[in-house]
Amino acid sequence: MAEIGQPLAYGGIRLPNNVLLAPLAGYTDFAFRKLCYSFGAGMCFTEMVSAKGLRYNNEATRALLRLDPSETRTAAQLFGSDPDVLRAACESEDLAPFAAIDLNMGCPVPKVFKNGEGSALLADFPRASEIISACKRSGKVVSVKFRIGLERGKYLAADFAKLCEDAGADMIAVHGRTRDCMYAGEPVYEQIAAAKAAVSIPVVANGGVFSRADAQKMLRETGADGVMVARAAMYCPHVFAEILGKDIPWDARAAIDGQIADMLPFYGEKFTLVQMRKMAAFYLRGRRGSAEARASLFACNSIDALRAALDNIYGPRA
């Protein structure tokens, strides 16, 4: 059984540990990833990026691929349903800074599913295999993130894991819930274990990891090679230090200030304000008076107002 914090290697890439940040649409921008790395994350993934959006030179799509200069082991997550378009994305200049790409075959959101993308590919094994093979021909290291099925009780984790390996995937990440569960309920550990037993490539387990105890249980129950942290990191990126047993202090105000400083020059005030009101509100979870504090954050209409609200919550900056 893998131990928390041990190195993880796949496709020629060696990671310092096996506790990874999941790709999270709307959250895992470069400033947030930088913060997660500071607390020990072994690898981070971009938000899911549309291969079709890159093909049509969509600037909003390209912005999702922004890297901080300090990022040396971040993978880009792509989604789509056309093998040729996905391969072209892998071979594009946009993906040149990334040594690895991750293919999203698990997103449950209706607008993605209805386009035959994300978790819809669990119902189309031939197309899923074509996509993986096409992306591997680009020369990139390829991982695949998928769910254990579309409906509870109708599981396919082992078969899909084997398909991924046979098509050339270097690693898989298995979310232990079906599409209809969305993000609720206990992961089905047995299905992640079945996927692990079906392949020889590394398997990362995803779903319900909020603490060191959760990570230990996930590794023990599934035999996986590592764990992927999702919502817990949104609530508090310091969770990586906690899971890894690193003695790194958590200063929410310093974290927020750092994210603002990183984001403002690239995204501008409007986007940074919207994003950081949301993130600062997450970081207040469990704090006394958090409901009132969150309300004060969402009432802010400028970065200066946001900083003033933070002064009231945490005290003036030194």
Tell me which residues are annotated as active site: 107
Q: Is 67 exposed, middle or buried, given 0-12, 13-18 or 19+ CB atoms closer than 10 A?
A: middle
The Cα–Cα gap between 245 and 226 comes to: 15
- Tally the residues of the chain: 318
| Strand order across the beta sheet in which 226-229 lies | 19-21, 226-229, 203-206, 171-175, 141-147, 100-105, 74-79, 44-50
Residues 6+ apart with CB under 8 A from 218: 187, 189, 192, 205, 207, 208, 209, 224, 227
Interstrand relation of 44-50 and 19-21 (parallel, antiparallel or unpaired): unpaired
Q: Is the dihedral of CA 105, 39, 213, 196 positive or negative?
A: positive
